[in-house]
Chains A and B, each alone.
Chain A
Amino acid sequence: MRSTYSRLLLGTAALAGSALLYASQTNVRVAPDPDNAGLKLPAGFGALKVAETGGKARHIAITPQGTIYVKLNRVKDGKGILVLHSQPNGKATVTSGFGDYGGTGMYVKSGYLYASSDHDVYRYKLDDRGEVVDPAKAELLVRGLKVGSQHESKSIVLDNDNNLYVNVGAYANACQEQDRTRGSKGIPNCPILDSAGGIWQFKASQLNQRYAQGTRYATGLRNVVGLDWNPQDNQLFVMQHGRDQLHDNWPALYTDQQSATLPAECMYALSKGSNAGWPYIYYDPQRKEVMQGPEYGGDGKTAAKGDYLKPAAAYPAHMAPNGLLFYTGNMFPAKYRNGAFIAFHGSWNRAPEPQAGYMVAFQPFKDGKPSGQWEVFADNFSGSAEKTASGRADHRPCGLAQGPDGSLYVSDDSKGTIYRIVYNAKK
Chain B
Amino acid sequence: MIAKFYESLYRIRRVEEEVAKVYPTDKIKSPVHLSIGQEAVAVGVCEALRPDDIVFITYRSHAGYIAKGGNLKAMIAELYGKVTGSAKGKGGSMHLVDVANGIMGASAVVGTTIANSIGYAYGVKLKKQNNIVVCFFGDGATDEGVFYESMNFAALKQLPIIFVCENNGYAIHTAQAKRQAVPDIAAKAAIFGMPIERLGDDVLHLYERISTAVETLRSGGTGPFFFECETYRWKEHVGPSEDYNAGYRARTEAEPWMQQDQVQKFAMRLDPQQRQQIEQAVEIEIAEAFEFAENSPFPPDAELYDGVFA
Q: Do A and B associate with each other?
A: no
**What is the interface of chain B, defined by CB distance below 8 A to chain A?**
none
